[in-house]
Structure 1
Amino acid sequence: MDRVLTSGGAPKDPADRLSEELQSLKSSSGLTYARISEHTHYAKSSWERWVNGKQFPPRDAVERIAAVCRADERHLLDLWSQAEACRTQAAAPGVAVRASAPAEGDAGSPDPRQVALWSLTVLALALTAGLARSVVQGRELRRGTLPGGL
């Protein structure tokens, strides 16, 4: 594995190298974040965070930008794998991890709006089931056929 050094002489973080590659790809392609977003189905705000190194991109996003920019996918995925390996090692107990909140449009992170929608759907189904049961019990009570001899 080749080691890229920063001006201080320390090896560059693979995530930083990946970010630099993504910046270079974006610049050389001439595409805006909005155009990349249209071609990859990830939010332009997510691309801005990934390209500028504010957040680590999902593998699928790296594959997609390589295809859109007609870049060497294998090289980008090698960088992504190295960075992911470092992140995984850093996640070991007792080691600090570079924080990164789930981003809007990320394939691997749940969209808060989607979570809220699912929660409301489950709540509506539960309320509907409870109401239906109450209606049935009310009818049975009026008829005198409530189970349990009440």
Structure 2
Amino acid sequence: MPRWKALPGELDPQVREFVEQLRRVVDRTGLSVAVVADRTGYGKTSWDRYLNGRLLAPKGAVVALAEVTGTPPLHLTTMWELAERAWSSSEMRHDRTMEAVRISRARAAPGEFGPPPDVRERDVGRIAVTPGVAGPAGVSPTMPPSRDARIPVGGAPGGSGPRRTTLFLAGVVGVVTVVVGAFLLTDGGDRKQAVGTTGPPSPASAAPSTALPPGVLCRGSDCTGRDAEEMGCSGGLVTTARTATVGATLVEVRFSSTCGTAWGRITRAAQGDEVRVTVGPVRQTGAVTVAGDTIAYTPMVAVKSPADATVCAVLASGEQGCTP
């Protein structure tokens, strides 16, 4: 069975060449994807996506791969820059296509609701004054004209003028009644709005709408308890805010300002070592559970600042320690 899956057929040639080069680097060293993830600090799920063309590897992951495989980084980073431009262009083309589809659907939407109101009214008028003529469902050609149908509409002299005037006046009175009633029910309306006085915006209108960057799937409290790699909050969007050393294990507070989250990471760890991140009353934990693994992460916790988070390591040997 081949080691790698076939790359997506729609993949840009520049991106395809870059992914194939990454595969060759991994193949040359004989490392498994799990080991690559362990040594580079990027999750196995992410490397599966990178090496199968479903997600473009961030530059940090490419540099880390070059370091752990002994590959000259300049060649890989140059290929990454070309692939990144192609990937961005492909996303822009996709966005423009989707926008064109949305505009086309919006233009077509009015026609989905039948003919304009004036056409329907003319049709109803013809049905009312011409009973017995085939028309829409419910109007029989042999049906005797109703009392309303025998009333002349817009044709018989001597009866249409007064009746039309009466109907018009009745309609005007009805509209005025509705407007006055609405005015009274709303306690005279909003006088500030009536005179154009502008007050402070409501919380809903004051809140800015911030779109997440491509690939980022959550922000703030929506990320709490979720994996940073899977939600797109790591890679080039993460920094190490604070560190500590417990025995030989490095303890880190990892922070993503884009996602508004922090999480804990331990490296140079051993099986049974645990890492915990605490933000107020909220705590998330992770552990090294597989022999040979040396890295563990906690799920994310929403923070306003990386200073809100404390990360601690509890080693299998019993030794403990936390970030300052």
1:96 aligns with 2:280: no
Structure 2 counterpart of 1:53: 53
Query: Paired residue for 1:107?
Result: 235
For the Cα contact (< 8 Å) 2:16–2:53, is it kept in 1? yes
1:52 Cα deviation after fit: 1.5
The reply to whether residue 30 of structure 1 matches residue 30 of structure 2 is yes
Give 1:19 deviation, angstroms.
0.6
Picking from 302, 307, 310, the partner of 1:118 is 302
Aligned-residue CA RMSD (Å) = 3.1
Superposed CA deviations along residues 17-69 of structure 1, whole A, max 9, x for unmatched, are 11101111111111111111111110011111101111101001001101111
Letter aligned with residue 80 of structure 2: W
Residue 55 of structure 1 aligns to a residue in which SS?
Answer: coil
Aligned length: 108
Higher RCO (C-alpha 8 Å, min separation 6): 1
Higher helix share: 1
Secondary structure of 1:108's counterpart equals: helix
Asked if the contact 2:66/2:76 (under 8 Å) is kept, the reply is: yes
Report % sequence identity.
24
2:82 maps to 82
Residue 88 of structure 1: how far off its partner (Å) = 3.1
Contact 2:39 2:68 in 1 (8 A): yes
1:41 corresponds to 2:41: yes
**2:139 alignment partner in structure 1:** none
Q: Is the 8 A contact 1:46 1:106 kept in 2?
A: no
Superposed structure 1 runs of 4+ greater than 6 Å apart: none
Relative to the length of structure 2, the TM-score reads 0.29
Larger Rg: 2
- Give, in angstroms, the shift of residue 91 of structure 1: 4.5
Structure 2 CA distance for aligned equivalents of residues 40 and 91 of structure 1: 27
Between the aligned partners of 2:234 and 2:57, the Cα distance in structure 1 is: 8
How far is the alpha carbon of 1:84 from its aligned partner?
1.1
